[in-house]
């Protein structure tokens, strides 16, 4: 049987990184079946397109995975596939919580023939065999022989054959530049950010987050050896292609068990498996100097920190009181001393936020080492404690907000400001943090560093700027370059000065600079 695994586009931009679930399920598919992958972010497709694809490729089963914000598109695509007579199985965080919606048991139309609840590592092979026999069941739950919920241990993690997977659709280097860039240094013909997981689960239970409910508070880790081997495989592929590969450790909280993280990072260093990597780590875990040393030594370049708010009352409200705004600056300094920078994520529209929350946040951000601040709005995702609290209080203004996805739009009324005021705070945050003045300030704050670092922070910022100010067209780029011409001239002038790059080897520039799309996707992230 031929199987198509499809991930809908996020509706706003091209994504920057493929989704891990597709590669994982492909690797877990029983032999004798062929699996094709289509990520709508990289290969845009509409309803007619997917129906045609299914017919042209003689597909016998379509698997669709989606987060809440892509679910409306996922349902439309599923409907189009089912209209061709091919069954659809859906999985992922949204349908796990809203299985009745997907199966049409809540009074709405049916979109999926089957739903895989929770982690599907163990159920996927069963789903495939049932589908091949034409005996798909409605619901697949990960349970053991006694009917108890069971979670994969991750000790027996499948080998994802990165050396042979077709990754063309995920190359971030424009095709026209590939030939030339292959010749630069170790080669820049391709640049991909690859998702790798080293563990699952987070016990913290922040009120807005689905992770503790979905993966459980039992944390599970892969063996160090299996992670190290995966990195070595990725590095080898990048070398053969004369390209670059960076890794996004997608663990919700990469250092949730500090001892284990240190041991993994030591093993990565010992095996020569260092590569440039990004990971999500909560601020409280970055107090440990030795951990931060190991992060830098193993290739860690950007740490995504869910700061959420600088107001302890807000943090307490969302059960994230372990975040201590008073130590944010020290944490960021500790990272910056090792040339590791942070993507700092803030949420507005929290219950204690009042007008001016964005400026108050920025006042602090300006005093920190340069990084990539990102701003989102508090979003009640289905089945989270936040959703339940707001529902009970009658505060949801769009209880089924996923049926019509609107970027940067609230679905409930904040307590101390209006919805419009909350939207204005997010707009202000992006506009100020990525203004030409803010970009120049970020670059100048690294004046004591080699030029490479300043170029890097400038490029990262300019790409992230595209998150909020759409920069997809050529004219938009021209405008941005014009607005930032002073900073650009300054960097270029310095580049021509003898010795300006000394101390900044070419590899420094290999820091994964997230694209505008990356930023957009990360932008509304609130993990860790
Ligand atoms: C990496 C990641 C991202 C990346 C991008 C996604 C990518 N390219 O990988 C970044 C950082 C950009 C990102 C951004 C966002 N993310 Co995010 N992200 C994650 C994260 C940390 C890991 C995803 C992952 O690969 N997990 C590991 C794989 C193995 O797990 P999985 O995807 O769930 O797949 C398993 C099962 O669900 C199931 N399954 C999944 N799909 C399918 C399909 C079929 C057919 C079957 C059978 C089974 C199946 O089988 C898999 C194996 O067991 C998760 C949290 C988490 N730990 O999962 C959040 C998570 C998915 N993100 C989430 C959210 C909300 C977002 C944002 C909307 C942020 C926000 N707060 O507003 C943005 C928007 C993204 C966008 N524009 O597209 C939520 C989604 C919740 C929901 N109900 O939708 C999660 C769960 C975290 C959270 N805070 O609650 N994210
Ligand atoms: S937001 Fe981060 S720290 Fe909080 S529960 Fe989710 S994954 Fe854990």
Which ligand has the shortest distance to the CA of 93? 1
Nearest CA to ligand 2 atom 3: 528
**For ligand 1, atom 33, which residue shows the shortest CA distance?**
92
Beta-strand relationship, 220-221 and 199-200: antiparallel
**Residue 15 confidence (pLDDT):** 62
Q: Is any atom of ligand 2 closer than 6 Å to the C-beta of 347?
A: no
Please tell me the distance between residue 250's alpha carbon and the centre of ligand 1 in angstroms.
9
C-alpha span between 369 and 302 (Å, rounded): 13
CB 361 within 8 Å of CB 397: no
pLDDT at 328 over 60: yes
DSSP character at residue 492: H
* Band of residue 42 on the pLDDT scale cut at 50, 70, 90: confident
Note the pLDDT tens digit of each residue in 201-223.
Answer: 999 999 999 998 888 777 999 99
* Backbone φ/ψ region at 20: left (φ over 0), alpha (ψ -120 to 50), beta: alpha
- Please tell me the residue having the least CA distance from ligand 1 atom 34: 21
Q: Is the pLDDT of residue 398 over 80?
A: yes
Return d(Cα 391, Cα 394) in angstroms, integer.
5
Ligand sitting nearest the alpha carbon of 250: 1
Q: Tens of pLDDT along 251-280?
A: 999 999 999 999 999 999 999 999 999 999
Distance 483 CA to ligand 1 centre (A): 35
Distance 67 CA to ligand 1 centre (A): 6
Å from CA of 201 to ligand 2 middle: 9
Q: Span 329-337, mean pLDDT?
A: 96
Q: Is the Cβ–Cβ distance between 116 and 99 less than 8 Å?
A: no
Q: What is the pLDDT of residue 500?
A: 52
Q: pLDDT class for 16, splitting at 50, 70, 90? A: confident
Distance 6 CA to ligand 1 centre (A): 14
Q: Confidence class of residue 508 from pLDDT cuts 50, 70 and 90?
A: very low
Q: Which bound ligand lies closest to the C-alpha atom of 285?
A: 2
CA 210 to ligand 2 centroid distance, Å: 8
Ligand 1 atom with least separation from CA of 121: 53
Q: What's residue 46's pLDDT?
A: 95
pTM: 0.93
pLDDT tens digits, one per residue of 403-453: 988 888 999 999 999 999 999 999 999 999 999 999 999 999 998 888 888
Three-state DSSP at 285 gives helix
- Rounded CA-CA distance 281/97 in Å is 26
């Amino acid at each position: 049987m031929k199987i198509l695994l499809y991930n809908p586009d996020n509706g706003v931009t091209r994504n920057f990184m493929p989704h891990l679930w597709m590669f994982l399920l492909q690797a877990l598919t029983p032999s004798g079946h062929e699996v094709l992958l289509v990520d709508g972010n990289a290969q845009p497709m509409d309803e007619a397109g997917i129906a045609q694809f299914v017919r042209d490729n003689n597909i016998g089963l379509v698997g669709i995975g989606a987060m809440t914000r892509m679910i409306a598109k996922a349902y439309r695509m599923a409907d189009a596939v089912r209209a061709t007579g091919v069954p659809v199985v859906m999985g992922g965080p949204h349908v796990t919580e809203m299985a009745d919606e997907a199966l049409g048991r809540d009074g709405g139309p049916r979109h999926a023939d089957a739903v895989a609840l929770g982690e599907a590592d163990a159920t996927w092979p069963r789903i495939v065999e049932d589908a091949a026999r034409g005996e798909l069941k409605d619901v697949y739950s990960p349970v053991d022989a006694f009917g108890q919920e069971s979670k994969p241990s991750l000790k027996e993690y499948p080998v994802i054959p990165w050396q042979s997977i077709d990754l063309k659709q995920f190359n971030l280097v424009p095709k026209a530049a590939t030939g030339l860039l292959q010749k630069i240094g170790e080669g820049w013909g391709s640049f991909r950010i690859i998702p790798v997981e080293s563990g699952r689960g987070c016990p913290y239970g922040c009120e807005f987050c689905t992770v503790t409910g979905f993966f459980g508070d039992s944390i599970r880790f892969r063996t160090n050896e299996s992670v190290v081997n995966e990195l070595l495989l990725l590095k080898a592929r990048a070398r053969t292609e004369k390209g670059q590969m960076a890794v996004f450790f997608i663990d919700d909280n990469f250092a949730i068990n500090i001892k284990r993280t240190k041991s993994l990072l030591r093993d990565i260093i010992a095996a020569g498996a260092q590569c440039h990597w990004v990971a999500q780590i909560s601020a409280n875990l970055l107090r440990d100097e030795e951990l931060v040393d190991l992060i830098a030594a193993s290739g860690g370049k950007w740490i995504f920190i869910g700061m959420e708010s600088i107001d302890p009352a807000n943090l307490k409200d969302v059960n994230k009181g372990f975040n201590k705004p008073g130590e944010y600056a020290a944490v960021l300094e500790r990272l910056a001393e090792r040339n590791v920078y942070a993507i700092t994520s803030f949420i507005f529209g929290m219950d204690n936020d009042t007008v001016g929350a964005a400026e108050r946040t920025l006042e602090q951000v300006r005093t920190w080492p340069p990084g990539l601040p990102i701003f989102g709005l508090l979003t009640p995702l289905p089945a989270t404690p936040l959703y339940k609290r707001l529902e009970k209080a009658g505060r949801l203004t769009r209880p089924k907000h996923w049926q019509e996805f609107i970027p940067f739009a609230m679905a409930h009324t904040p307590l101390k400001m209006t919805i419009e005021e909350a939207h204005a705070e997010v707009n202000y945050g992006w506009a100020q943090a990525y203004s030409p003045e803010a970009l120049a300030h970020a670059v100048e704050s690294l004046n004591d560093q080699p030029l490479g670092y300043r170029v890097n922070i400038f490029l990262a910022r300019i790409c992230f700027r595209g998150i909020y100010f759409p920069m997809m067209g050529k004219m938009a780029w021209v405008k941005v370059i014009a607005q930032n011409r002073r900073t650009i001239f300054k960097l270029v002038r310095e580049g021509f000065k003898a010795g300006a790059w000394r101390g900044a080897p070419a590899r420094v520039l290999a820091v994964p600079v997230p694209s505008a799309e990356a930023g957009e996707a990360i932008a509304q992230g609130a993990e860790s």
